Amino acid sequence: MDEPNFLLRSDLLAGGTTSDEIRQAVRSGRLRNVTRGVYVDGGGDVDPLTLHHARVLARRGRTTPDDVVSHVSAAVLHGLPLWNVDLSPVHISRDRSSGRRTPTLHVHRCTYQPDEVCVVAGLRTTTVAQTVVDLARTLSADSAVIAGDAALRAHPDIAPLLLDALASSGMRHGIAAARRTVAFLDGRSESPGESLSRLRIRSAGLPAPKLQHELRTPSGAFVARPDFLWEDEGVVGEFDGRSKYGSDEPGATAETVHREKLREDAIRALGFEVVRWTWADLFRFEAVHARLVRAAGRARRR
């Protein structure tokens, strides 16, 4: 993730801006205070991830030699997607700490080995693999799988390192959940919605689908690479990600709708039923489950 463009109070004062002018800029909304002595431009919307990133970077020069940026904050520094996660406190781990939490700082009592720590943006930070395991211990399965799938997609070489991180975590709180989550991760999921779809498919008791499997004609011509394929059942599943993270984004154009129709027609010509679902459907997946079962029934009757 690129560093947010934040302003330090000390730099503003050194440049000739007075304390009264800084306070006025905050009151008027031209500056937004993200943490003590750190501001970002208030002229536009600043997303929570960017604000959290700024708060983490603001700790440069204020950490102790034992401090390690970890958990959610490490995920932000590594550019991992986070969904439905509290971004209010910065997460720091310390070897010799009883652990404490305030509205802006969560200190974990945790010891890391040298190979579990790297340096990101000048801050000692847990590695991607260690971060994924820590998230899997402390977040919901939904949130942890979204981040973990993305980590494996961007860094496929971390797969054995995840097992090492699990082993070195010993009996830390949440380690059993972390083992289950890490075993489920798959870097072939290409979006948060696809990651959640896999979780919903598992919870519904459906067989595990093939991910991103290429479909070709008998002559070998490429047709499609659907999100999910139940080859034996004759069903293709597609997550419609136009409404990413549940936000309202511009709808598909007539051209994209037409292209998608032609693509689905080509898939059906191979003998597969196609079932699509959206972000909202992930939170009422029983309806999708029923549609998948009906689709499999139609495919069998062909």
For the record, the structure tokens of 205 come out as 């008791």
Q: pLDDT value at position 98? A: 67
For the record, the structure tokens of 186 come out as 């798959």
To the nearest 10°, the Cα dihedral for 25, 26, 31, 33? 150
What confidence category does residue 176 fall into, taking pLDDT thresholds of 50, 70 and 90?
very high
Q: pLDDT value at position 244? A: 44
Amino acid of residue 56: V
C-alpha–C-alpha distance, residues 211 and 202, integer Å: 14
Q: Measuring CA to CA, which residue among 37, 58, 40, 48 is closest to residue 105?
A: 58
Lowest-pLDDT choice from 7-16, 231-240, 281-290: 7-16
- pLDDT above 90: percentage of residues in the chain: 70
For the record, the structure tokens of 15 come out as 């440049």
State pTM to two decimals: 0.87
Average pLDDT over residues 33-51: 78
Contact criterion met (CB below 8 Å) for 133 and 169: yes
Q: pLDDT tens digits, residue range 205-251?
A: 999 999 999 999 999 999 999 999 999 999 999 999 764 444 434 45
Q: pLDDT tens digits, residue range 27-39?
A: 998 888 877 788 8
Contact criterion met (CB below 8 Å) for 293 and 287: no
Average pLDDT over the chain reads 90
C-alpha–C-alpha distance, residues 227 and 59, integer Å: 40
